[in-house]
Structure formats: C-alpha cells, structure tokens
C-alpha cells in the first residue's frame, strides 16, 4: 500500500514570496490533515479536511495561508506572502473514516520550508 | 483546549536496557485517544502505539508498552530492550473524537551502545 506522498521535500524562498505544497493521501482515506512543525516543537494542526470540506481551520493563519482539496483527494497548501516565522516542516497526514470511527493518521515525509 | 506536556526534553539509555518516557495531558472530555509517535531524522512520523481512553487495559506492541492512568491524566511509554534503531524524537499526542492530533513538544531519545 502506497503511503502519503508530499512534494517538494525541500523549498527555500525569500520572505514575501509565495510557495505551494502538494499532498496525495493514501487511497480511500477521506480525512486529510496539514500540520506545521517548527524546529524543536511538536506538529501543530493547521487544517483538517473531510473529503473536500473543511472540518477545522481554527489554527490556520488565513491572512496568508490557504488550502484546498479539490475532488476530495489531493490537497495543496499555499503561503502568500511568506514570513521568516513560516520556516518549518509541513506535514500532511490522512486517515480512514468508517461511520463515526476515525482510524489512525498516517503521515507523509514532510516538506521542509526555509524562508530567508 | 487540550494540552499535552512532555517534561523530558532528552533521555539517554544504554542499549538493551529499559527506558520510560513521560507524558501528561489536560482535557475535559471523557472519550479520547492517546498516541505515541516516533520521528527519526528522516522526519517520517511513525505510529508506535495507541490507547483508547475507555479501555482500562494498557496497550502493548512488542517491546513498547504504555502506563495509562486516566484519573491522573498520565500516559507514559516504556521501551524494553532498547535498540539503536529506537533512537529518535518521541511525541505524545492526544485526539478527541475525529479531531486532529494535539502533540507535546517531544522527547529526544538517545541510545548508548
């Protein structure tokens, strides 16, 4: 079974530039998450999708971050414009949902973003 | 809001010995899940073990086991017969229902050969 795929693995940009990350979840997983992991900290949830609808985006800085999940499969996370404090690893995860039961989250390898 | 606290930034253990990583959490919910994830330098987050709050029996996965104390809101991870491949960051995480995960700050585990 293929895992969660993310690209690119690394990205370096200058502040005020834009950047986009892509995630392809495990086939059949309806729930998709984006996390931000700043160096030395645990991941923080940015946004959660159920199919192509947003379940929770309470911690997403909406003035500069946006995310979409067209057709309920792949997802993109965009930052525009980037700030120095956005330097982090961006992790995508997916999970299977059957009825009211949500199963374990499986994580992708992450994208390391450096903003200079 | 739920919080997860890992009070040990770093732990060191001799190969083949046993080590326990601590985790406490705060929640007002009665039904939730707790997890330990391992993150090696490759950054891939790997699930080690999970515990459902409604289960009194502590979860076990081979050399990994937990001590779940619901009243004390404590969830520690015990690694027996430590191996060099166990070296990594370990994160304790909480999930209520179908929510996203809330992570602690992590414990860096060093295995001494």
A27 to chain B, any CB pair closer than 8 A? The answer is: no
What is the arithmetic mean of pLDDT over A14-39? 96
| Mean pLDDT across chain A | 93
Look at A33 and B100 and tell me if their CB atoms are within 8 Å.
yes
What is the arithmetic mean of pLDDT over B97-112? 92
Check whether A72 has a pLDDT greater than 90. Answer: no
Give the nearest partner residue to A104 out of B47, B98, B105, using CB atoms.
Answer: B47
Check whether A100 has a pLDDT greater than 80. Answer: no
Say what percent of chain A tops pLDDT 90: 84
Q: Which residues of B touch A110 (CB under 8 A)?
A: 43-44
Check whether A18 has a pLDDT greater than 90. Answer: yes
What is the arithmetic mean of pLDDT over A53-65? 94
> Please, which contacts does B20-23 make with residues 24 or more away whose CB atoms are closer than 8 Å?
B20/B67, B20/B76, B20/B77, B20/B78, B20/B79, B21/B76, B21/B77, B21/B78, B21/B79, B21/B90, B21/B92, B21/B107, B21/B109, B22/B74, B22/B76, B22/B107, B23/B74, B23/B75, B23/B76, B23/B77, B23/B92, B23/B104
Check whether B47 has a pLDDT greater than 80. Answer: yes
B90 to chain A, any CB pair closer than 8 A? The answer is: no
Look at B103 and A42 and tell me if their CB atoms are within 8 Å.
yes
Check whether A1 has a pLDDT greater than 70. Answer: no
């Amino acid at each position: 079974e293929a895992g969660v795929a993310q690209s690119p693995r690394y990205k370096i940009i200058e502040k005020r530039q834009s950047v986009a990350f892509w995630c392809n979840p495990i086939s059949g997983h309806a729930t998709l998450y984006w996390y931000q992991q700043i160096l030395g900290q645990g991941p923080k949830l940015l946004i959660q999708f159920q199919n192509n609808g947003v379940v929770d985006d309470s911690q997403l800085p909406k003035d500069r971050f946006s995310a979409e999940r067209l057709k309920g499969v792949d997802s993109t996370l965009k930052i525009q414009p980037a700030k120095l404090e956005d330097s982090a690893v961006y992790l995508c995860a997916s999970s299977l949902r059957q009825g009211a039961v949500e199963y374990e989250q499986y994580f992708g390898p992450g994208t390391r973003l450096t903003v200079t | 809001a739920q919080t997860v606290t890992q009070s040990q930034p770093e732990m060191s253990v001799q190969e083949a010995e046993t080590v326990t990583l601590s985790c406490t959490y705060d929640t007002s919910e009665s039904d939730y899940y707790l997890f330990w994830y391992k993150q090696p330098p490759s950054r891939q987050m790997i699930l080690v073990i999970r515990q459902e709050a409604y289960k009194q029996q502590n979860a076990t996965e081979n050399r990994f086991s937990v001590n779940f104390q619901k009243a004390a809101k404590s969830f520690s991870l015990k690694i027996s017969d430590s191996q060099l491949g166990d070296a990594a960051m370990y994160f304790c995480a909480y999930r209520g229902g179908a929510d996203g995960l809330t992570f602690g700050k992590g414990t860096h585990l060093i295995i001494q050969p």
